[in-house]
Amino acid sequence: MNAGDVAVVVLLAIGVGSALLGAVGILAARDPYDQLHFTGPATVIGPIAIAGAVLVEEPLSSAGIKAVLVALIMIATGPILLHATARAARVRERGRWVIHRRELAAKEDPSRFSRP
């Protein structure tokens, strides 16, 4: 087992581990906003590590180029999807995306708007 094989195994372990941690994380999180945080490592670290593993094994090949392409697509689309999902969750919850003046005031001084 040479250095390249060891690097491939380490990169695969990092990629698979980050995706599995994300999967366990969404079970542990309380609400959709918390769960969204756990999709980050799976969509960024996972593809980078696995594309890196493919590149270590086959540096100049169509497989390496396609793996890098998949990683780039996932890194580019992940944050867009995260934002769209958070927006959908907030609009469903509050009925609007923009923050209301009353919400800001309640955040600054909760006692004024607290329920008896």
Partner 1 sequence: MNAWLIAATVLLTGLAPCLWIAMRGSIVSALVALELASTITTLTLLLIAQGLRRDPFLDLAVVSAILSFVGALTFARFLERWV
> CB of 77: closest distance to partner 1 in angstroms?
4
Give the span between the Cα atoms of 94 and 104, in whole angstroms. Answer: 14
- Residue 45 is a binding residue for partner 1 (CB under 8 A): no
Please answer whether residues 85 and 32 qualify as being in contact, where contact means their C-beta atoms are separated by less than 8 angstroms: yes
Cβ distance to partner 1 smaller for residue 99 or 105: 99
Give the span between the Cα atoms of 113 and 70, in whole angstroms. Answer: 49
Residue 63 CB contacts under 8 Å (≥ 6 apart), including other chains: 54
Scan for tokens 């994300």, then name that residue. 22
> CB of 43: closest distance to partner 1 in angstroms?
5
Cβ distance to partner 1 smaller for residue 34 or 105: 34
- Residue 105 is a binding residue for partner 1 (CB under 8 A): no
| Terminal Cα distance for the chain, rounded | 69
CA 47 to centroid of chain Cα atoms:
11
Q: Which residues in this chain contact partner 1 in the complex, by CB under 8 A?
A: 5, 8-9, 12-13, 15-16, 19-20, 22-24, 26-27, 31-32, 35-36, 38-39, 42-43, 46-47, 50-51, 54, 57, 61-63, 66-67, 69-70, 73-74, 77-78, 80-81, 84-85, 87-89, 91-92
